[in-house]
């Protein structure tokens, strides 16, 4: 007697929502408060598994919901949809959320404000599941905004001076991307006549009149997705968001929220398939972002920031796979990345708890005292570094094959990327857990709790087995085509790059410790102007008056030079006359007359120079100043002066338009 599938589907987002409400209502019962989100997400996982076991996942096609209201030609809908793709990603999100919530229950045990934190985590899980399961653009956008608000709340709950600014930065930056997303999906809905996903995805088949308009909304939606996924140049918010607690970083900023951008593009992929230009743009942004972010990760001194830039890099790889028109590789990499990245973040949180800091130069030599944690971190790091047979190897192989198949010219960049990724993660591991010169290590070590280690263990085990299992079963489940496997030569190259990266990192850290590596310095410097737009604008703002000042000085110099040139000319004219006089010995009168004429000409030129150039330039300058002062008097100050000017302009404009219209008619 199984519950009806509709109820199960509704339970998936509603269970964490109920957990959030229960957490808020029961916030004074300190012992229960951490377990509501665990219960909520566990129920979601159970519901999804039940739905998946009742029938083969590939044949899933559950729809719930319908029309909300009709506004003229536009129909707004609300609904949930469960098909193979959304089932896979929803299960991933719910499972990672479950692990992170178990971790958070132990991690946050002695912090105040935990009731709000746990409630916000449940709320976030509900929002993310709604986003994945949404069948309507309205619901998707509402869930998208809700996810952004939950992210703001979770970052701002940290009692640290940098937290409110970081939270506001994350929210405002993603909000700006959301404006592009809003414009994009509104356009799509208007084109399709409805916000239901079926209608929107059907636009791809409509043909000529719609095709002309499609690239614009798809581009806008892509901009929104790129902002949410913190791709360069919109990546400034993610490293600063690392000020939040470790569970938040693990859930939001590695596995789920930043994956929402990739998810949106995956959902709308049938529309993107037919737009090669937009796909090329996504590919370019993804791959270049991946490379740059990986290089910047090499210069970070903070363990969580290394992981943040690594997230940007891996999401860039996911988007590059998408841009290479192989969505299978994108989904695969999304799944494995969620698992090993959240394991790494949770382990980093444990390290912070145990050693008191996550700055690389304050860590070191932790392996002896925290062997289990070191082992789990190492396993997850190897998964990130695409070492076989761990998860990252299979999904990295899939991404590489996708790029090799469709964008072959860029394929050689991927082994380079593998080298850099391995370098930064090996450096992070080694600097945290092994001995290097000058490593002070942590003075006092608090042993990590069982509640913290268990989820990390679970995720690390998943990172080991997930790759092979998904490579085997995912193509059949999703019904998407796999890329052609690359040949042995490429595989050996990539493996060699990985090994080289590990060796390089180990040698470097053993030699000089976790100092920022030079290979990343140029990239970090390149990213700074991309991130520091405000600083650039500042410089422009102070630079313009300076430029004007320089221009004025230059004008003065030019005027002085003209002065000197004119006087030089006069002097030379004088000299010429004297020369004529000296040379002319026969014709005295002619000579004297010529001399006299020359002298007079010289005097006249000098006078012209004095009256013309010098005085003229002076008069020009004073006249300009006078007119500028007169023009300045128009700025009288109070509001009614400007309103009057506005009305005069309006009236004049209206009359002018009418005259033009009457003349044209």
Partner 1 sequence: MSTALLQWLAFALFAAIAIAGALGMATTMSMFRSGVFLMASFVGVAGLFVLLLADLLAWLQVMMYVGGMLVMILFMVLFSHDPGGAMMSEMPGLRGPERFFSLGLRTPLHEGGGSDHGGHAMPQMDMSMTTPLRRFAVVLAALAFVALAALLLLRPAWRQLDAMPAADSAHRVGELLMGKYMAAFEGAGLLILLGIFGSVYLARPSAHPGSTARERLQAAAADAPVDVAEAGDPRELQR
Partner 2 sequence: MSAVPLTAYLLVGAALFAIGIYAVLAQRSAVMVLMGIELLLNATGLNAVAFWRHTAAHDYSGQIFTILIVTIGAVEMAIGLGLMLLLFRRRRTVQLDAWQALRG
Positions touching partner 2 (CB under 8 A) are: 632, 635-640, 642-644, 647
Please state the closest distance from residue 202 (CB atom) to partner 2, in A.
31
Please state the closest distance from residue 80 (CB atom) to partner 1, in A.
23
Task: Please give the biggest Cα pair distance in the chain.
Answer: 135
Nearest to partner 1 of 165, 648 (CB atom): 648
Nearest to partner 2 of 469, 642 (CB atom): 642
Please report whether residue 651 would count as binding partner 1 according to CB under 8 A: yes
- Name the one range near partner 1 by CB under 8 A: 68-76, 208-216, 365-373, 431-439: 68-76
Please report whether residue 70 would count as binding partner 1 according to CB under 8 A: yes
Please state the closest distance from residue 628 (CB atom) to partner 2, in A.
12
Cα 617 to Cα 57, 557, 627, distances in angstroms: 84, 12, 15
Please report whether residue 638 would count as binding partner 1 according to CB under 8 A: yes
Please report whether residue 665 would count as binding partner 1 according to CB under 8 A: yes
Q: Which segments of 78-162 does DSSP mark as H helices, in order?
A: 84-107, 114-133, 137-156
Please state the closest distance from residue 179 (CB atom) to partner 2, in A.
21
Using a 10 angstrom Cβ sphere, with 0-12 exposed, 13-18 middle and 19 or more buried, the burial of residue 27 is middle
Nearest to partner 1 of 183, 601 (CB atom): 183
74 binds, among partner 1, partner 2, none (CB under 5 to 8 A by kind): partner 1
Please state the closest distance from residue 68 (CB atom) to partner 1, in A.
11
Please report whether residue 656 would count as binding partner 1 according to CB under 8 A: no
Cβ contacts of 101 within 8 Å, gap of 6 or more:
34, 37, 38, 41, 118, 121, 122, 125, 247
Contact 482/335 with Cβ under 8 angstroms?
no
Helix (H, G, I), strand (E, B) or coil at 472: helix
Nearest to partner 1 of 543, 653 (CB atom): 653
How far is it, in rounded angstroms, from Cα 18 to Cα 20?
5
# chain residues binding partner 1, by CB under 8 A: 16
Please state the closest distance from residue 642 (CB atom) to partner 1, in A.
11
450 binds, among partner 1, partner 2, none (CB under 5 to 8 A by kind): none
Choosing from 647, 649, 653, 660, the residue that interacts with partner 1 (CB under 8 A) is 647
Choosing from 69, 209, 488, 631, the residue that interacts with partner 1 (CB under 8 A) is 69
Nearest to partner 1 of 522, 655 (CB atom): 655
Tokens describing residue 24: 């808020």
Please report whether residue 663 would count as binding partner 1 according to CB under 8 A: no
Tokens describing residue 582: 């000296």
Please state the closest distance from residue 636 (CB atom) to partner 2, in A.
6
For residue 361, the tally of other CB atoms under 10 A from its CB is 16
72 binds, among partner 2, partner 1, none (CB under 5 to 8 A by kind): partner 1
How far is it, in rounded angstroms, from Cα 257 to Cα 248?
10
* Eight-state DSSP code of residue 359: B
Q: Return the ∠ at Cα 182 (arms to 180 and 183), rounded to 5°.
A: 65
Please report whether residue 654 would count as binding partner 1 according to CB under 8 A: yes
Cα 107 to Cα 225, 302, 324, 452, distances in angstroms: 31, 20, 40, 6
Point out which residues pair with 71 in neighbouring strands: 74
What is the Cα 371 distance to its own chain's centre? 35
How far is it, in rounded angstroms, from Cα 324 to Cα 316?
12
Contact 246/348 with Cβ under 8 angstroms?
yes
How far is it, in rounded angstroms, from Cα 464 to Cα 457?
11
Please report whether residue 658 would count as binding partner 1 according to CB under 8 A: yes
Choosing from 535, 641, 649, 660, the residue that interacts with partner 1 (CB under 8 A) is 641
Q: Which segments of 368-408 does DSSP mark as H helices, in order?
A: 371-384, 391-406
Q: Which of residues 1-30 bind partner 1 (CB under 8 A)?
A: none
How far is it, in rounded angstroms, from Cα 119 to Cα 117?
5
Nearest to partner 1 of 469, 649 (CB atom): 649
User: Residue length, the chain?
Assistant: 665
Please state the closest distance from residue 409 (CB atom) to partner 1, in A.
46
How far is it, in rounded angstroms, from Cα 224 to Cα 273?
18
Please report whether residue 409 would count as binding partner 1 according to CB under 8 A: no
Please state the closest distance from residue 643 (CB atom) to partner 2, in A.
6
Please state the closest distance from residue 71 (CB atom) to partner 2, in A.
13
542 binds, among partner 1, partner 2, none (CB under 5 to 8 A by kind): none
71 binds, among partner 2, partner 1, none (CB under 5 to 8 A by kind): partner 1
Nearest to partner 2 of 586, 637 (CB atom): 637
Nearest to partner 2 of 4, 637 (CB atom): 637
Cα 193 to Cα 75, 92, 220, 544, distances in angstroms: 6, 32, 19, 49
Q: Which of residues 538-577 bind partner 1 (CB under 8 A)?
A: none
Cα 515 to Cα 48, 424, 435, 527, distances in angstroms: 46, 11, 14, 19
Please state the closest distance from residue 631 (CB atom) to partner 2, in A.
11
Please report whether residue 489 would count as binding partner 1 according to CB under 8 A: no
Helix (H, G, I), strand (E, B) or coil at 144: helix
Nearest to partner 2 of 511, 644 (CB atom): 644
- Name the one range near partner 1 by CB under 8 A: 33-41, 350-358, 469-477, 652-660: 652-660
655 binds, among partner 1, partner 2, none (CB under 5 to 8 A by kind): partner 1
Closest CA to 90 of 326, 247, 246, 267: 267
- Name the one range near partner 1 by CB under 8 A: 166-174, 354-362, 535-543, 641-649: 641-649
Please state the closest distance from residue 168 (CB atom) to partner 2, in A.
22
Nearest to partner 2 of 7, 628 (CB atom): 628
Nearest to partner 1 of 409, 662 (CB atom): 662
Number of helices (H), then strands (E), in the chain: 26, 2
Nearest to partner 2 of 596, 641 (CB atom): 641
* Eight-state DSSP code of residue 446: P
Please report whether residue 72 would count as binding partner 1 according to CB under 8 A: yes
Contact 154/121 with Cβ under 8 angstroms?
yes
Please state the closest distance from residue 640 (CB atom) to partner 1, in A.
5
Please state the closest distance from residue 646 (CB atom) to partner 2, in A.
10
Closest CA to 16 of 43, 40, 42, 47: 40
Please state the closest distance from residue 645 (CB atom) to partner 2, in A.
10
Contact 312/230 with Cβ under 8 angstroms?
yes
What is the Cα 131 distance to its own chain's centre? 19
Which residues contact partner 1 by CB under 8 A? 69-72, 74, 638, 640-641, 644, 647-648, 651, 654-655, 658, 665
């Amino acid at each position: 007697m199984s519950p009806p599938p509709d109820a199960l589907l509704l339970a998936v987002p509603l269970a964490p929502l109920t957990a959030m409400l229960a957490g808020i209502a029961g916030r004074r019962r300190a012992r229960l408060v951490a377990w509501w989100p665990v219960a909520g997400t566990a129920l979601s996982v159970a519901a999804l598994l039940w739905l998946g076991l009742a029938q083969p996942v590939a044949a899933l096609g559950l729809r719930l919901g319908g029309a909300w209201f009709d506004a003229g030609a536009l129909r707004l809908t609300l609904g949930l949809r469960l098909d193979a793709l959304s089932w896979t990603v929803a299960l991933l999100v719910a499972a990672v959320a479950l692990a992170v919530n178990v971790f958070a229950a132990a991690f946050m045990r002695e912090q105040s404000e935990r009731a709000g934190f746990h409630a916000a985590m449940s709320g976030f899980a509900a929002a993310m599941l709604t986003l994945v399961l949404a069948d309507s653009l309205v619901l998707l956008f509402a869930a998208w905004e809700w996810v952004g608000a939950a992210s703001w709340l979770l970052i701002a709950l940290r009692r640290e001076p940098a937290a409110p600014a970081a939270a506001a930065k994350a929210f405002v930056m993603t909000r700006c991307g959301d404006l592009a997303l809003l414009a994009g999906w509104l356009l799509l809905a208007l084109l399709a006549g409805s916000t239901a996903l079926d209608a929107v995805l059907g636009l791809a088949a409509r043909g000529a009149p719609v095709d002309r308009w499609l690239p614009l909304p798809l581009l806008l939606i892509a901009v929104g997705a790129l902002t949410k996924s913190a791709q360069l140049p919109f990546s400034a918010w993610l490293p600063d968001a690392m000020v939040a607690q470790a569970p938040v970083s693990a859930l939001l900023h590695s596995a789920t929220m930043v994956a929402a951008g990739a998810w949106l593009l995956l959902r709308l992929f049938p529309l993107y398939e037919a737009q090669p230009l937009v796909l090329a743009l996504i590919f370019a942004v993804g791959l270049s972002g991946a490379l740059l972010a990986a290089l910047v990760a090499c210069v970070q001194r903070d363990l969580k920031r290394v992981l943040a830039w690594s997230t940007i890099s891996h999401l860039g790889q996911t988007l590059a796979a998408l841009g290479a028109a192989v969505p299978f590789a994108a989904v695969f990499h999304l799944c494995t990345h969620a698992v090993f990245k959240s394991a790494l973040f949770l382990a980093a949180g444990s390290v912070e708890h145990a050693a008191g800091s996550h700055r690389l130069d304050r860590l070191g030599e932790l392996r002896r005292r925290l062997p289990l944690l070191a082992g789990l971190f190492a396993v997850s790091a190897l998964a990130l570094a695409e070492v076989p047979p761990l998860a990252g190897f299979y999904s990295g192989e899939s991404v590489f094959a996708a790029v090799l198949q469709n964008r072959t010219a860029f394929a050689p960049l991927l082994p380079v990327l593998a080298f850099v990724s391995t370098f930064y993660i090996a450096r992070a591991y080694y600097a945290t857990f092994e001995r290097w010169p000058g490593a002070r290590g942590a003075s006092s070590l608090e042993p990590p709790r069982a509640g913290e280690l268990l989820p990390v263990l679970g995720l690390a085990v998943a990172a080991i087995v997930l790759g092979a299992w998904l490579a085997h079963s995912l193509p059949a489940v999703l019904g998407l085509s796999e890329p052609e496997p690359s040949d042995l030569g490429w595989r050996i190259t990539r493996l060699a790059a990985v090994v080289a990266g590990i060796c390089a990192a180990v040698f470097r850290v053993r030699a000089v410790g976790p100092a920022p590596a030079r290979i990343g310095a140029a990239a970090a410097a390149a990213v700074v102007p991309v991130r520091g737009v405000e600083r650039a604008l500042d410089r422009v703002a102070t630079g313009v008056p300076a430029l004007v000042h320089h221009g004025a000085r230059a004008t003065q110099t030019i005027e002085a030079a003209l002065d000197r040139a004119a006087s030089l000319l006069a002097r030379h004219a004088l000299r010429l006359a004297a020369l004529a006089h000296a040379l002319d010995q026969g014709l005295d009168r002619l000579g004297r007359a010529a001399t006299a004429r020359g002298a007079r000409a010289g005097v006249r030129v000098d006078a012209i120079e004095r009256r013309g150039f010098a005085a003229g330039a002076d008069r020009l300058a004073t006249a300009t100043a006078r007119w500028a002062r007169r023009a300045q008097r128009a700025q009288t100050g109070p509001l009614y002066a400007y309103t009057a000017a506005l009305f005069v302009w309006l009236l004049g404009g209206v009359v002018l338009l009418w005259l033009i219209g009457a003349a044209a008619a």
